[in-house]
Chain A
Amino acid sequence: AQKVTQAQTEISVVEKEDVTLDCVYETRDTTYYLFWYKQPPSGELVFLIRRNSFDEQNEISGRYSWNFQKSTSSFNFTITASQVVDSAVYFCALSLPSGGYQKVTFGTGTKLQVIP
């Protein structure tokens, strides 16, 4: 069975600081997908990124970057120069394509508070 661990329950940073959210996953499958979702105070889950298991390239999107390392089964998320609008709960997730659909396994989420 697959599992996603987000060891950081809550993080507080001062605006403009960099912050890294950790994600460690477990699966025996060789084909899988990793995701990050953001849940702002409004409640919806906003898709941020998807990465498949065969692509270990790191990705940067503006102030967001993701570090995927299969050797350590980690998919960490870094926000550079954090802003108050980044305050949210962030979920890391793993899915295994099966029978033409996905069953997504989520971590428990990391609540990020950016203090002005």
Chain B
Amino acid sequence: EAGVTQFPSHSVIEKGQTVTLRCDPISGHDNLYWYRRVMGKEIKFLLHFVKESKQDESGMPNNRFLAERTGGTYSTLKVQPAELEDSGVYFCASSHDRGWGTDTQYFGPGTRLTVL
């Protein structure tokens, strides 16, 4: 069974540009999460989808970040326009929804974003 995949693995852009990160969850997983680790700090929650619906986007830093999950399959996270402080590693995770909030999240390899 394929794990969570993320694309690209590394992106280098200039301040002001736009970048779109993609996450493909484990097949059959309804829950999809985005996290971010900035400058060696802790990994922080950004948002959570159940299928195509955003359940919790309380961790999104500001309105320059837009996440979508059309059709409830893969998800994209767009940063527009990117700022220097957006540099970090963006992780995606997925879990199977059993409705109890108890399932383990399985993480992808992350996308390392560098904003120059």
Cβ A101 vs Cβ B50 within 8 A: yes
Q: Pick the contact of A91 from B43, B56, B106, B108 — CB < 8 Å?
A: B43
Stretch at the interface among A11-19, A55-63, A69-77, A104-112: A104-112
Chain B contact residue count (CB 8 A cutoff): 33
* 10 cross-chain CB contacts under 8 A: A43-B109, A44-B109, A44-B110, A45-B43, A46-B107, A47-B104, A47-B106, A97-B100, A102-B105, A109-B40
In the complex, B14 has a CB within 8 A of chain A: no
Cβ A103 vs Cβ B43 within 8 A: no
In the complex, B18 has a CB within 8 A of chain A: no
Cβ A106 vs Cβ B43 within 8 A: yes
Cβ B101 vs Cβ A99 within 8 A: yes
Name A residues whose Cβ lies closer than 8 Å to a Cβ of B. 4, 33, 35, 37, 42-47, 50, 52, 91, 93, 95-109
In the complex formed, the residue of A with least CB distance to B45 is A103
Cβ A101 vs Cβ B110 within 8 A: no
Which residues of chain A have C-beta atoms less than 8 A from B3's C-beta? 44
Cβ B108 vs Cβ A44 within 8 A: yes
In the complex formed, the residue of A with least CB distance to B59 is A103
19 additional A-B pairs beyond A43-B89, A96-B101, beta carbons within 8 Å, are: A43-B9, A43-B109, A44-B3, A44-B108, A44-B109, A45-B91, A45-B108, A47-B105, A93-B43, A95-B101, A97-B100, A97-B101, A100-B97, A101-B50, A103-B48, A103-B56, A105-B45, A108-B41, A108-B42
In the complex formed, the residue of A with least CB distance to B43 is A106
In the complex, per-residue mask of B53-87: 1 if CB is within 8 Å of any chain A CB, else 0: 00110000000000000000000000000000000
In the complex formed, the residue of A with least CB distance to B97 is A100
Task: Determine how close the nearest CB of chain B comes to the CB of A43; give it in whole angstroms.
Answer: 5
For the complex, what is the distance from the CA of A100 to the CA of B109, rounded to whole Å? 25
Cβ A101 vs Cβ B45 within 8 A: no
Q: Pick the contact of B100 from A50, A96, A100, A103 — CB < 8 Å?
A: A100
Most A Cβ at <10 Å: residue of B45, B102, B110: B102
Cβ A97 vs Cβ B102 within 8 A: yes
For the complex, what is the distance from the CA of A99 to the CA of B104, rounded to whole Å? 15
For the complex, what is the distance from the CA of A50 to the CA of B105, rounded to whole Å? 10
